[in-house]
Structure 1
Amino acid sequence: MTRTNIAGTSPYEPIIGFSRAVKVGGHVHVSGTGPVGADKEDVAAQTRKTLEIIQTALEKAGARLEHVVRTRMFLTHTADWEEVGRVHGEFFGSIRPAATMVVVKELLNPDWRIEIEADAFITD
C-alpha cells in the first residue's frame, strides 16, 4: 500500500518529526491537533479551530468528516467536557464516530485546553 504524509502548518512538525496526517490505503490518521491560531480563545472556539484544522488535513488526504470513525479528545479541564462535546457534535452529530475524552494535566502549549486526534476510513 502507498503511504502519503500530509503536511500541516504546525510549527512543531519539523521539530518533532511528524505529519499532520498519514494516509495508508483507505486509512487516514490525523495527529494530535491543537487550536493553533486560537490559543487565547475560549474552549469552544479552540475546539472549533482544532476540528477545522483536522477537516483540512482530511480533505488534503482525500477524505471527508463523514469518513471519520474515531476521535480522541484530550482536555485540560474536566469542566470543559460539555462545551467540547457540543462543538464535537456540530461536526460529527450525524456521523457519530467512536469517541474518547480524556482529561490530562497539560498540553504542549499551556494555553491550549483541547487537543484532538482523528482516524478516518475512506470507503468510496
Structure 2
Amino acid sequence: MRRIVGSGSPLEPQIGFSRAVRVGQHVSVAGTAPIGDDGSTVGPGDVYAQTVRCLDIAEQALREAGASVEDVVRTRIMLTDVTTWKEAARAHGERFAAIRPVTTFVEVSRFIEPDWLVEVEIDAVIARPAAPPS
C-alpha cells in the first residue's frame, strides 16, 4: 500500500513530489520549508519561528498519513547557517524532547527561496496497527 499526502504547495506538481509518502508502516516527510498558508515565508530572519512552522507542516502531513510525532524515528534539520542551530534545536526540543528521534543538523548553501533559513525532513515508523480505511 502506497499513500501520498499533498500539502497544496504549487511546487508539488511542478517538481513531481509529495509532502509525505506512506508505504506500509513507514512515513517519510519531504524537505519542509517555512511557508505560510498565503504562500509567503513565515518568520523572515527568525530561525526559531521558521523551524516551528516547518514542524507544524510536517506534523500535519504525518497526521494525514496516519502517523503522529510519537512515531518519528529520524529528523533532519537543514540550515543555511549552522551557527543558528540552537534556535532550530529549541523548536525541535519542544516537539521531540520526550520522543528523542535520531537527528542530524546540516548546513546547506541555500534553499529555493532566499528567505528560507531552515527546512526539515522527517521519517516515522508507525508502531500500532493501521486503522481500517474510512
Identity of aligned residues (%): 50
**Partner secondary structure for residue 72 of structure 1:** strand
1:10 equivalent in alignment to 2:5: no
Question: Which of structure 1's runs of 4+ aligned residues deviate more than 6 A?
Answer: none
Unaligned runs of at least 5 residues, structure 2: 37-41, 129-134
Q: How many angstroms apart in 2 are the aligned matches of 1:41 and 1:35?
A: 11
Total equivalences in the alignment: 123
TM-score, normalization: structure 2?
0.89
Partner of 1:68 in structure 2? 72
Q: How many angstroms apart in 1 are the aligned matches of 2:49 and 2:18?
A: 24
> 2:92 pairs with 88, 92, 96, which one?
88
Partner of 2:122 in structure 1? 118
- Shift of residue 11 of structure 1? 2.0
**Partner secondary structure for residue 75 of structure 2:** strand
Partner of 1:45 in structure 2? 49
Partner of 2:111 in structure 1? 107
**1:69-109: CA deviation from partner (whole Å, max 9, x where unpaired):** 00011100122100100110001011000000000110111
1:78 equivalent in alignment to 2:82: yes
Unaligned runs of at least 5 residues, structure 1: none
Partner of 1:30 in structure 2? 29
Q: How many angstroms apart in 2 are the aligned matches of 1:93 and 1:23?
A: 24
Q: How many angstroms apart in 2 are the aligned matches of 1:85 and 1:7?
A: 26
Q: How many angstroms apart in 2 are the aligned matches of 1:6 and 1:60?
A: 7
**Partner secondary structure for residue 74 of structure 1:** strand
Partner of 2:39 in structure 1? none
**Partner secondary structure for residue 63 of structure 2:** helix
Q: How many angstroms apart in 2 are the aligned matches of 1:119 and 1:54?
A: 10
Partner of 2:60 in structure 1? 56
Instruction: Give RMSD over aligned pairs.
Output: 0.9
- Shift of residue 39 of structure 1? 5.3
Which one-letter code corresponds to 2:97 in the other structure? G
